[in-house]
Amino acid sequence: MRTVLITGASSGIGAACALELAREHKYRFLLCARRLDRLETLVQQLLAIDPAVETHTFKLDVRNADEVESQLGNLPAAWQQVDILINNAGLSQGLDPIQDGKIGDWDRMIDTNVKGLLYVTKYVVPMMANSEQPHIINLGSIAGKEVYPNGNVYCATKHAVDALTKAMRIDLLAQGIKVTSIDPGMVETEFSEVRFNGDKDRAKAVYHGLTPLSGQDIAEIVSFVLSRPKHVNINDLLVMPTAQANGTLVIRK
**Binding interface with ligand 8X3 (CB under 6 A):** 141-143, 151, 185-186
Minimum separation from the CB atom of position 6 to ligand 8X3 (A): 18
Q: Could you confirm whether 154 is annotated as catalytic?
A: yes
- Of the pair 60, 95, the CB lying nearest ligand NDP is at 60
With beta carbons less than 8 A apart as the criterion, state whether 188 and 241 touch: no
- Of the pair 74, 99, the CB lying nearest ligand NDP is at 74
With beta carbons less than 8 A apart as the criterion, state whether 8 and 42 touch: no
DSSP letters of 119-167?
A: HHHHHHGGGGTT-SS-EEEEE--GGGT---TT-HHHHHHHHHHHHHHHH
Q: Residue 101 carries which side chain, given as an amino acid letter?
A: G
Minimum separation from the CB atom of position 141 to ligand 8X3 (A): 3
The answer to whether 247 contacts ligand NDP (rule: CB under 6 A) is no
Task: Give SS3 for 49.
Answer: helix
Q: Give the separation between CA 155 and CA 137, rounded to whole angstroms.
A: 19
Go through the chain and tell me how many residues it has.
253
- Of the pair 200, 230, the CB lying nearest ligand NDP is at 200
With beta carbons less than 8 A apart as the criterion, state whether 129 and 148 touch: no
With beta carbons less than 8 A apart as the criterion, state whether 97 and 150 touch: yes
Minimum separation from the CB atom of position 37 to ligand NDP (A): 9
Selected catalytic residue, list 158, 178, 200, 230:
158
- Of the pair 91, 133, the CB lying nearest ligand NDP is at 91
- Give the residue numbers marked as catalytic: 154, 158
> Which residues contribute to the site for ligand NDP (CB under 6 A)?
7-8, 10-14, 33-35, 38, 60-63, 88-91, 112, 116, 139, 141, 184, 186-187, 189-191, 194, 215
